[in-house]
Structures are given as C-alpha cells and as structure tokens.
Amino acid sequence: MESGAILNQNTPNEPPCSIRVPIDRDEAYSIVADPENLAGWWFRPGRSLSAPGSKRVHFDADPAQHSVDLRWGEDGDWRHVRVTVDDAERGSRVAISVLPVPGCPTGCLEIEGVRTKRDLKRLKGLLRSRSHLLDSDDYWI
C-alpha cells in the first residue's frame, strides 16, 4: 500500500502525518510506547539501537499524554520526533510530528517530514501485527 493511501483515510482536520486505526487509544499507545517495538517501525533496515557505532537514542514515553518522544543523534546533530495517540471517531489516531531542535537548520525538518510518511506505513503494520484485530481485515482500510 502506498503511504498516500494511508493519508487518504484522514479527515481534513487531521494532521497530514497521521493514521486512524480501529483499536482503542490505550491499546495503540501500549504498542507504540513499548521500546521493544521501536525497531519494528522507526529504525531503517540495517540500523539498530545497540549496534556498535549507533547514534544515541532517547525514548521517552509519557502515559499521561499518550505520547512518545524520540530523540536520536550525536552531540550537535539531534533529531526529535513525537508520536501521539488520540481518540478518534472509531478507534484511535496516531500522529508523528517532527519537532524543531535548537541549532538544526529547517532542512532537517523537511528531510524528517518526508521520512515520516514511510514510518507511518511501517507503524500501521506494527499496530496491525500486535492488535487483537489482526485477523479482521474489514477493520483495516
């Protein structure tokens, strides 16, 4: 499925880098906030949290806000992405936003913004694979 197809599920009031999923907010958040699942959707093939020479990663889950902050990089070269899970009409909405980092040129945001479309596709796959609705294709558009 093209990432554009995922984005077409959104209403005009939803952020462009979000997907709606047919599972409730708490279930979606528990999947996103589990550090064991991080490599399944965020890190590109060949990258690992623990491989020698890997950039440092900060993974901060906030259950009260149903959000996860990811910061990664090295001194002077950091990126910051936030994943939030909100209630939706049917199920929940998961959004990825790229946050500005002090000292980072605006080009950083544009590059990471393009990558979020690919990450949404992988994140939807992860949510589906871990959901209790895995076998219910009718629920996954």
Domains and CATH numbers, the chain: 3-133 (3.30.530.20)
Q: What is the mean pLDDT of residues 82-86?
A: 89
pLDDT tens sequence across 102-131: 666 555 555 555 566 777 777 877 887 777
| Token pair in block for residue 50 | 């623990």
Q: How far apart are CA 12 and CA 48, in angstroms?
A: 36
Q: Cβ contacts of residue 69 below 8 Å, gap of 6+?
A: 58, 59, 60, 62, 80, 81, 82
Q: What is the pLDDT of residue 64?
A: 95
Q: How would you class 120 by CB atoms within 10 Å of its CB: exposed for 0-12, middle for 13-18, buried for 19 or more?
A: buried
Q: What is the mean pLDDT of residues 39-58?
A: 60
